[in-house]
Structure 1
Amino acid sequence: MRLTIVCIALFANYVQSSKVLGFFPAPSISHQRIFQPIWKELSLRGHEVTVITPDILNDLSLVNLTEIDVRIGYKVFEDLKLLEKMKSKNFVLIKILNIFHDIQRVMSSELQHEAVKKLIENDAKYFDVVLLQTSHLFPLVYGFGTKFSAPVIGISSMDLYLHAHDAVGNPTHPLVAPDIMLNLHGKLGFFDKISSVLHNILYRILYYWYALPMADKVARKHFGENIPYLGDVEKNMSLILTTVNPIIHPIRPNVPNMIEINQIHIREKKPLPKDLQDYLDSAPEGVVYFSLGSNVKSANISSEIRNIIIEALSELPYKVLWKWETDYLPNQPYNVLTRKWIPQQDVLGHPNIKVFITQGGLQSIEEAICNEVPMVGLPYITDQPYNVRKLEEFGIAIGLNPGTMTKDQFKRAILEVAGNKKYKERVREAKAILTDQPMKGVEKAVWWIEYVIRHKGAKHLRSPAADLSFFEYFLVDVALFFVFCALLLTYVVVKMIRWCRCRSKKGLTKEKAN
C-alpha cells in the first residue's frame, strides 16, 4: 500500500513537471540571492529549469537544473564603472539614463554567450513559463518572452520603477507612492509634490519614447527581426513578484497580479566557522558588525572616509567584525577583526552582536530585522538612502551621510544604537510585523509561478488599467476636454457681454439723438 502511494506521488510530480526558463542578468550577488532560492525550489519540485545568470548555484544534487554561467557580465559591469555612476550626484533621470545604457551593454555581452545564442537559435525549444528580472531598467529581458511565446513573470529584487507598475496597471500616484529613486516618503512638502509629479511624467517620456524603442532595436539583433515589440510583451506579463516589505516600503493598493514577497533569501542558521564563533563568544560586552554589502565594498571607499571610520571604531568599547575585501586594512585598530567574506545571516544571529553598520541594502535590512539587530546606515546608491530614512522613521536605525559625516558623529551613532534599549525594542516590533505572514516568501513565489503554469497565463487577473495609455490613465484627454469647454464657455460669455454692451451703447446713442 505504501509503495502504491509513493508511486502515485512520483507520477503526480512527473505529470506536473514543467519547463521553466529564467533570465536574471544583474551582475550582483545581492540581487541574485533573491532569485536563487526560487529556481532551486522549482527544481526540487520536479520542474525542468534552465537559468541564465552570472551567479550559478553549481549544486550537483539539482539534477534537473541547467545553469548558463554568464559571469562575463561582471567584467563589463566593472569596466563601465557603473557603481561610480550610481553614486554620482547627477539629476535622478540623468543617472537612470546612464544606468540604462550601461545595463544594455552588460546584457548584450551576456546574450552573446555561446550557450545563450544556442538556446535562442534552437527553434525546437519551448518553455511553459519565462521568469525575467524586472527590478531595474531592463526592457531587453523581454526578448526571451518574444522568442518562446510563453507566459512571462517578472521578479524584482527591490521595489519597482514606474514602468513595471504600468505593465500590470498598478496605481502609481505621485504623492501616495513616489518613485523610490526620489527618496521621498511621508507627508510631502509642496516642492516635493512638484518634483514627484514631474518625475512621473519625465520618467515615462524617457522610458516609452527612448529606452524601450532602443532596447527593441537591440533585441532584434539577438532574437531576430520578426519578434513582437518589446513593449507589447511587457504589457502582457502575467505576474510581477516584488520583494517589498511593510517596514520599508509604502502601503499601496496593488492589482491582483502584483504579488508582494519578502524574506525570500532568509534561511535556517548554520554553524559559524570556529574562528568567528570564538571571536564573537569572547566579547560579552558586545560586537559591532560592519559590512557595506557586495556592491559598495568597504575596500573601495575613499581614504578620507576610511580614516574617519577607523578612528571612530578604535575608540569604541566593543569589538568590531568588519567585512574588508583585501588582505590589508591600513591602520587597523586592535579591536577590529577583518574578513574578506562573512556568513552574514549566521553572524547577525549571534547574541553578542549589538549593532549592524550597513549600506542599507534591502536584503541586509531584512536579515538584521529577522535577527533583531538595530542598525547604523551609511547609504550610497539606488534605494539605499530611501531605505535608511525609513529605518530611522521606524526607530530601528540612525542614518548618516558617509560623504559628510565626522568621526564624532559616526561614533555617537554607534554608541546610541548599541546603548539605547529603544532601538532593540523597536527592531523586535519590526520583526513581529515582518515575519507574521501565512507562508514564507519562497513558498509564495513558487505557488504563484505554478499558478501561472497551471492556467497557461493569468489574463483573468489583468487590470484594464494596463491597456490604457498614460494620457488616458491620468485623464489628460478628459482634462483637456474640460479646459476646452471652459475656454469655449468663457469665449461665448465674453462675446455675449460685448454684444450686450454694444446694444446698450447703440440704444443710448439713439435716445440722445431723439
Structure 2
Amino acid sequence: MIKQFSSLILLFCTLICAINSAHILGIYPLPGHSHYRLGSSLFRELAERGHDVTVISPFSEKDVPKNGTYRDIVLDGLFVGDEKHKGKQWNMFKREGLNPFVGTYVVATMASKFIKMSLNHTKVQKLLHSDEKFDVVITDNFLSDAFKAFATHFDAPLIVLNPVGPNFWINPLVGNPSPPSYIPDILLNYYHPMTFSERMVNTLIYGFNFLLYNWLVYPQHNEYVKQFIPRGGELKDILYNTSLVLLNSHPSLNQPVPLVPNMIEIGGFHMKPPKKLPEDLQEFLDISKEGVVYFSMGSNLQSILWPIEKREVFLKTFAKLKMKVLWKWEDDELPGKPPNVKISKWVPQMDVLAHPNLKLFITHGGFVSSVETAYHGKPMLAIPIYGDQRNNANFAYKSGFGRYITFSNLTEKNLLEAINEMLDNPKYSENAKIRSKIFHDRQVHPMDTAVFWVEYVIRHRGAPHLRVAALDLPWYKYLLVDVIVVLTLVLGSLIFITCFILKKVWKKICTKKNTKKVKTN
C-alpha cells in the first residue's frame, strides 16, 4: 500500500513538472562568443529551473545543467580554423575609423554569409524537418533576422534577446519610439544634448538605416527563409510579430529612453558572484598590493591583431608603470614584454574585475565589458574600434567613471597620461562605485526578471496584449501625415477665405470713400 502511494506521489510530481516544463529553442548562430555568453546564461538558467532547452550555436556547453534537459545542436564544421585564423577573418582593427554610413552598411551585411551557411547546416535542416514541437523560440537579435522564422515554422511565440539597449535593430519591429532629436544611433559617438550638425547626421543615419534594412537586409534574409525554412512564411510578418524583447541594458549604463510594454531591461542578468581565480592569477593579483591594470580587447578584437606600431605603444607605456599589468594575449609569447606584465590567453574577466587589487580596466568598450565594469565599480579606459564601442566609451566619459582614446590618437604620451590621470584622480573610482550602486539597486535580480518574462510569454501564448497599436499603422498614420495635411488644408483654406473676405470688405470701404469724395466735389 505504501509502495503504491509512493508511486502515485512520484507520478503526480512528474506530471506537475511536465506541466510546468516548457520546450524552449534557443538560437545563437554567429561565432561571436561574447553574444553567446549572454544567451547561454539565460538558457542554462531556464534549464536549471526545469525547462527542456535546445540550443543552436557554434559552441557547446561542457558542464550542462542538471535539473532540466539541455541539448546542444553544435554548428560544427562552419567556422573551422584555429583562433588566430578566425581572428584574421574578423580583424576589426582594419575597419576602424570608417565613415558612419559605410560602418552602418558593413555591420548590417557582415554576417550574411554565416547566416546562410548556418541555415543550410545538416543539423539545422534535420531539426527543421523533424516533428519536434517548441513552446517558445529565443534568438539573438544581432544580424540573424532569418532565424526568427523558426518561431513561425514551429508555431511558437518569438522572444529576441538584444545584446545592447534599444536601437534601430529592434525599435521599429515593436513600435518603440526613438526620436533622432535626442536618441543617437548606436554606432555614433554622440551624447545628449546633440549639436545641430550631430542631429542632422543622426537623422540621416536613421533614414539610411530604414532604407538599408527594408531594401537590402530584410529582403535578403527573406530569401533565406524561403530557401531553407519550410514553414517560415514571410519575414516582414515575422519581424513585426515579436512577443518579447529582452534588453541587455539598464539606466546605470544607458541614457534613459522610452520602452513599450513588451521591452524588458535585464542588463547584467549574466553576472554571478565572483569565484576563486586560477592559482597563477590569484597569486598575481593577491601579491600586487600597489594595484593591477587589466587589459583586454574582448573575444572578437584580439590583442595579437594589433598593428605592431600600436602594440609597441602599449609595451612602452606599461613598462613605465609602477604597478603590474595583466594582459589578455592570445599567444604563448609576447615579444618585448616588460617584467611587470603578465600575459594570459584566457582570463575569467568577471572574477578578475571583482578582485580588490584591480584598479583600472583598459578595454575596447564593448557593451558586455561595460556591464561587467559597472557591476564591479571599476574605472574604465576605453579604446573603441567599431560598432557601439564609441557610444559606450562616450557614456562612461560623460558619466565620470571612464575615459577613452581613439585609435588614431593612441600614442605613448596619450596612453600614459590617461592611465596616470585615472589612477591618481579619485573621482573616477568614486564615480564608478556610484554607478555600481545604481546598477545593483533593483527589486529583483535581472535573471529572475528574464526568466519570469520568458515564462509569462509561454503562459499567455505570446502575450499579444503587450503589443502596441503603432505596429498596425502605416507610416503616414503613425506620423499623423494625413492629419497634418488635412489641418494644413483647412487652416490654409480659412486663411484664404478670411483674406478674400477682408479684401472684399476693404474694397467696398475704399469704394464708398471714393464715392463720398466725388459727391462732395
Taking a change above 3 Å as real, the CA distance of residues 478 and 79 of structure 1, as seen in their structure-2 partners, is farther
Q: Structure 2 matches for 1:240-389, cutoff 5 A?
A: 240-389=245-394
Change over 3 Å in CA distance of 1:480–1:89 after alignment to 2: farther
CA–CA distance in 2 between the matches of 1:140 and 1:339? Answer: 37
Structure 1 position 495, deviation (Å)? 7.2
Question: What does residue 31 of structure 1 align with?
Answer: 35
- In the alignment, the residues of structure 2 paired with residue 31 and residue 217 of structure 1 have an alpha-carbon distance, to the nearest angstrom, of 25
Between stretches 468-477 and 315-324, larger displacement belongs to 468-477
Structure 1 residue aligned with 2:402, among 384, 394, 397?
397
Equivalent in 211, 214, 236 of residue 220 of structure 2: 214
Alpha-carbon shift at residue 504 of structure 1 (Å): 10
Matches within 5 A, 1:96-111: 96-111=104-119
Q: How many residues get paired? A: 511
1:53 lines up with 2:48 in the alignment: no
Q: Residue in 2 aligned with 1:186?
A: 192
- Distance in 2 (CA, whole Å) between partners of 1:457 and 1:362 is 29
Aligned partner (choices 89, 95, 98) of residue 90 of structure 1: 98
Structure 1, residues 327-386: CA drift from partner, whole Å, max 9, x if none?
A: 221211111111111111111122211111111112212222222221211111111111
Match of 1:118 in 2: 126
Quick check: 2:23–2:51 contact (8 Å CA) kept in 1? yes
Which stretch shows the higher mean deviation, 188-197 or 453-462? Answer: 188-197
- Does residue 469 in structure 1 map to residue 474 in structure 2? yes
**Structure 1 unaligned spans of 5+:** none
Q: For residues 231 and 317 of structure 1, do their structure 2 counterparts lie closer, same or farther at Cα, with a shift above 3 Å needed?
A: same
Q: 1:91 to 1:472 in 2, by over 3 A?
A: farther
Give, as a single letter, the amino acid of the residue that structure 2 aligns with 1:34: L
Change (3 A) 1:27 1:502: farther
| Distance in 2 separating the partners of 1:171 and 1:44 | 36
Distance 1:263 1:70 in 2: 27
Distance 1:131 1:39 in 2: 9
Contact 1:86 1:381 in 2 (8 A): no
Partners of 1:233 and 1:80 lie apart in 2 by: 35
Amino acid at match of 2:104: I
Decide whether aligned partners of structure 1 residues 198 and 506 sit closer, same or farther in structure 2, where only a CA change above 3 A counts: farther
CA distance in 1, matches of 2:113, 2:506: 69
Deviation at residue 485 of structure 1 after TM alignment: 4.4
Letter in 1 for 2:474: S
Report the Cα offset of residue 178 of structure 1.
Answer: 2.4
Change (3 A) 1:360 1:84: closer
* Cα distance, 1:227 vs structure 2: 3.7
1:147 correspondence with 2:153: yes
User: Which residue does 2:140 correspond to in 1?
Assistant: 133
Offset, 1:60: 4.5
Q: Which of 64-73 and 44-53 deviates more?
A: 64-73
RMSD (Å) for aligned C-alpha atoms: 2.9
Cα distance change, pair 494–93 in 1 and its aligned pair in 2 (3 A) = farther
Distance 1:298 1:163 in 2: 29
In 1: Cα distance, 2:7 partner to 2:283 partner: 48
The answer on whether the counterparts of 1:157 and 1:242 sit within 8 Å (CA) in structure 2 is yes
Answer yes or no: is the 8 Å Cα contact 1:13–1:45 preserved in 2: no
The alpha carbon displacement at 1:175 in A equals 2.3
Q: Write the deviation string for residues 100-150 of structure 1: whole angstroms up to 9, x where unpaired.
A: 33312111111111110111122x22211111111x343212221221121
Confirm whether residue 175 of structure 1 aligns to residue 207 of structure 2: no
Letter in 1 for 2:129: E
Structure 2 contact 31–79 (Cα < 8 Å) conserved: yes
Distance 1:85 1:360, change over 3 A: closer
Check the 8 A contact 1:86/1:99 in 2, yes or no: no
Is 1:41 the counterpart of 2:45 in the alignment?
A: yes
Using the alignment, how far apart are the partners of 1:35 and 1:463 within structure 2? 26
Q: Aligned pair 1:228/2:233, yes or no? A: yes
TM-score by length of 2: 0.89
Deviation at 1:173, TM superposition (A): 1.6
SS at match of 1:181: coil
Amino acid corresponding to residue 475 of structure 1 in structure 2: L
SS in 1 for 2:269: coil
Report which stretch shifted further, 416-425 or 146-155.
416-425
Displacement of 1:322 in angstroms is 0.4
Where does the alignment leave 5 or more consecutive residues of structure 2 unmatched? none
Corresponding residue number in structure 2 for 1:200: 206
Structure 1 residues 475 and 67: CA distance shift in structure 2, 3 A: same
CA gap 1:417/1:72 in 2 versus in 1, 3 angstroms: farther
Structure 1 residue 88, shift from structure 2 partner: 4.1
TM-score normalized with structure 1 length: 0.91
- Contact in 2 for aligned 1:86/1:382 (Cα 8 Å): no
State the shift of 1:320 in Å. 0.7
CA apart distance, 1:435: 0.9
Deviation of the 1:476 alpha carbon:
2.7
Q: Which amino acid aligns with 1:356?
A: F
Rate the CA distance shift 1:492–1:418 in 2: closer, same or farther, 3 A.
same
Q: Deviations over 1:125-182 (max 9, x none)?
A: 2211111111x34321222122112111111111243241122221112123222122
Which structure 2 residues correspond to residues 460-499 of structure 1 after superposition, within 5 A? 460-485=465-490
Matched residue of 1:268: which SS? Answer: coil
Structure-2 separation of matches of 1:132 and 1:214: 18
